[in-house]
Amino acid sequence: MPYIHSVARALAPHAYTQEELTASLLEIWGTRYVNPERILRFQKNVLVGGRNLAVPLERYGELCDLGEANDAWLEAAVPMATEAVQDLLKKADLEASEISQLTSTTVTGLAVPSLDARLMNTVGFSRDTRRTPLFGLGCLAGVAGINRVGDYLKGHPKEAAVLVAVELCSLTLQRDDLSVANIIASGLFGDGCAAVLMVGDEHPLAKSSPLEWSNPRSAFFEDTERVMGWDVVGSGFKVVLSPDVPQLVAEEIPGEVDELMDGAGMKGQRPDFVVAHPGGPKVLEALQDALGLEQADLQLSWDCLQAYGNMSSASVLFILEDTINNPPPPGSVGVMAALGPGFCAELNLLKRAA
């Protein structure tokens, strides 16, 4: 089976505390919202301490439509992705020419040529590098990307591949949308980028890789299109975020984890560790309850949420890096999981090298 060798991250360049961000939002919405205290309550309830933003706070008022927001996305996303991938290659002591396949994912900006195509020039990949851009998978794309790269490496065991996820959620803020979903999103979502190096089991770096990947699982829950996603409007991406997400997690995820473990010949067992996307406090609490976990079992997810907010597909890759840096015992078997638009889930098994 393929292996996960390393992860590198790149934070958006402008860091703010939650209090600074909330104050800025109150300047926009405070006189137009019936109960400004409710905005404060929403901002506190997401348990985010601060976030990094793609552009300076004062510039967001200048972004009036989808085109201007998308230009700002490109301006920030390409340097962030370049930084993360270059750091990743440096960690592994690899040249860009030694990477056979490059997958990119985002749900917060549009690029044609795609983000991975732009990295061909900034990083210097070989001209015959196979590229796969992914769009529209949202928060689950970190795990989905890992799974699609793993699928590729199963058929190319001597090769190395890179996944890069860039999410600049702040650039999707709708200043004129006073819906509960948008106000919650304004306090929850942040900006970040992560890159992952995976290798086939015959690659020289396989023996030094800390995690073995296996058993990818996809689950699509019927008739849930309006649970999470975007409405694409003239002013950009307008958030669709249903309060039903925690309930769906509680109802659907235990069975998916059971099927995952059964398929790996571990029927009736529970994972030793969990690498879970931190959708928000209610989602993490629902996941804990559904799987019979303690908060400590998802502490890395809670810590990531508090430090950076929900960075969509990049968040679970931050947590993957933290798991590698704080490794479970040798031989441990974990589950990596994320949910996103569809509504759907992606999971896999991770085994710590013995």
Point out the residues that are catalytic.
139
Measure the CA–CA gap between 324 and 203, rounded to whole angstroms. Answer: 19
3-state secondary structure of 219: strand
Measure the CA–CA gap between 58 and 68, rounded to whole angstroms. Answer: 15
* Whether the Cβ atoms of residue 123 and residue 157 lie closer than 8 Å to each other: no
3-state secondary structure of 298: helix
Burial readout 297-320 (b: 16 or more C-beta within 10 A, e: otherwise): bbebbbebbbebbbbbbbbbbbbb
Q: What are residue 77's phi and psi, to 5 degrees?
A: -65, -45
* Whether the Cβ atoms of residue 80 and residue 194 lie closer than 8 Å to each other: no
Query: Hey, what are 262's tokens?
Result: 């059964």
Strand partners, 188: none
Quick one: three-class SS letters along 124-149? CCCCCCEEEEEECCHHHHHHHHHHHH
* Whether the Cβ atoms of residue 88 and residue 53 lie closer than 8 Å to each other: no
Measure the CA–CA gap between 114 and 261, rounded to whole angstroms. Answer: 36
3-state secondary structure of 44: helix
